[in-house]
Structure 1
Amino acid sequence: MTAPSVLATTQLGSPELLRSVFRQHAAGVAVITAADAANRPVGFTATSLNSVSADPPLLSFSVGTGSSSWPVLAGSEYLGVHILGEHQRDLAQLFARSGADRFGPETAWRPGPHGVPLLDGVLAWLACRVVARVPAGEHRVVIAEAVAGDPLGEGRGQGRPLLYHQGRFNALRD
């Protein structure tokens, strides 16, 4: 058995250790959307999307309680989940940027099932009903049930996913 690295030893249990390890983990990129009581859309880029259960069809993601989207997500019954394609790097960056006009003129979207804002051009999307919001540090893990969606998106299944790795949005390589 080898000794732990200096980095791991000195940062044991630290946020820096967790971040540095997860930079090595490639994750799919999604945008989560919701609408407030006046039907104004909000959204953010998420790399924490997970399938939880097939029956019932549940998924989860985490969101910081300091996020500008959290006040709406905290009270929304329904939300949208959008799987981004490698051609949507700019969209991912827009929805990740603090203070950005995420639903400005450059963002193509439309109202979807249950009033969920649906982004155009995504690889796939789901409209989901929120079933739980679980406290986790300065975040909440949101668990939601898929109630509608399109598994092929507008490209009819002909796209490649956008990934997040080493702190950057990336495309798959052959």
Structure 2
Amino acid sequence: MSQENLNFTAFGSDALRATFRLHASGVAIITSHTESNEPIGFTATSVTSLGSTPPLVSFNIARGSSSYEHLIVGRKVALHTLCAKNLELAQRMAGPKENRFLQQDYVLEDSLPIFPQASGVLVGTIRQRIEVEANAVVILDILRGTEGNQDARPLLYYRRGYLTATERLADND
């Protein structure tokens, strides 16, 4: 066993930010609607699969977000995975909420805004919200999805900016 002395120089929030700036995340868009069927949505980099049996996905959101109050248990949500060609869409959905749906580049399916240009789309129902301090974890039951664009270069968020993966290092055997 190695006896390296690690020099822990960052603590708490500073440590978290320093480490996660160096951790690449996939970029996604979450969309849904209000009680009056107005579209809502935002860019997320905290999306992860919880498992395939049953098919569950989670994402994180600040409880102070303008979208959070509309993400109620039982409501349908669309989760869009993004590729490099969706950069403008990711930036727009991360910007001011009043500008997110000005362009008519989405379609409505049961009042759910869907961006067909995304590399993949999953539709699910909110199963649970777990509130932790000023944040929440939202868990979705996945109902259906598109096959996805197998040739798309994934859009990643890394060091407070967007990039894409270009080199395959190894296959998982």
Q: Name which of structure 1's ranges 24-33 and 64-73 shifts more when overlaid on structure 2.
A: 64-73
Report SS of the residue matched to 2:144.
strand
Aligned with residue 50 of structure 2, among 44, 49, 52: 52
In the alignment, the residues of structure 1 paired with residue 72 and residue 5 of structure 2 have an alpha-carbon distance, to the nearest angstrom, of 44
User: What per-residue deviation string (whole Å, max 9, x for no partner) do you get for residues 85-105 of structure 1?
Assistant: 111111111111244510012
Q: In the TM superposition, what is the alpha-carbon distance from 1:157 to its structure 2 partner?
A: 2.8
Structure 2 CA distance for aligned equivalents of residues 20 and 132 of structure 1: 30
Alignment size in residue pairs = 165
**Aligned counterpart, 1:163:** 156
Counterpart pick for 1:128 among 124, 127, 146: 124
Could you list the runs of 5+ residues in structure 1 that have no partner in the other structure? none
Amino acid at match of 2:94: A
One-letter amino acid of the structure 2 residue matched with residue 137 of structure 1: E
SS of structure 2 residue aligned to 1:79? strand
Unaligned residue ranges in structure 2 (runs of 5+): 168-173
Q: TM-score, normalised by structure 1?
A: 0.88
Q: Decide whether the 8 Å contact of 1:34 with 1:76 is kept in 2.
A: no
State the shift of 1:123 in Å.
0.5
Aligned twin of 1:101? 99
Q: Is the 8 A contact 1:35 1:76 kept in 2?
A: no
Secondary structure of 1:59's aligned partner: strand
Secondary structure, in 3 states, of the residue corresponding to 1:24? Answer: coil
Q: Measure the CA separation in 2 of the matches of 1:66 and 1:76.
A: 20
Corresponding residue to 1:89 among 72, 83, 87: 87
Please tell me whether residue 4 in structure 1 is matched to residue 6 in structure 2. yes
Q: 1:163 & 1:146 partners in 2: Cα distance?
A: 23
Could you tell me which residue of structure 2 aligns to residue 61 of structure 1?
Answer: 59
What RMSD, in angstroms, separates the aligned Cα atoms of the two structures? 1.6
Distance in 1 separating the partners of 2:105 and 2:34: 19
Amino acid at match of 1:47: T
Amino acid at match of 1:109: Y
Q: CA deviation at 1:21?
A: 0.2
Structure 1 residues 76 and 56, CA, compared in 2 at 3 Å: closer, same or farther? closer
Q: CA deviation at 1:3?
A: 2.9
TM-score by length of 2: 0.88
Over 4 Å off, 4+ runs = none
For 1:67-94, what per-residue CA distance to the aligned partner results, in whole angstroms no more than 9, with x for missing partners?
Answer: 1111212466111100011111111111
Structure 1 residue 120 displacement after superposition: 2.4
SS of 2:145's partner is strand
Distance 1:38 1:99, change over 3 A: closer
User: Aligned AA for 1:151?
Assistant: E
Which residue identity does 2:81 align to in structure 1?
I
1-structure distance, mates of 2:97, 2:39: 14
- Counterpart Cα distance in 2 of 1:21 and 1:76: 35
124-133 vs 135-144, which deviates more? Answer: 135-144
Letter in 1 for 2:6: P
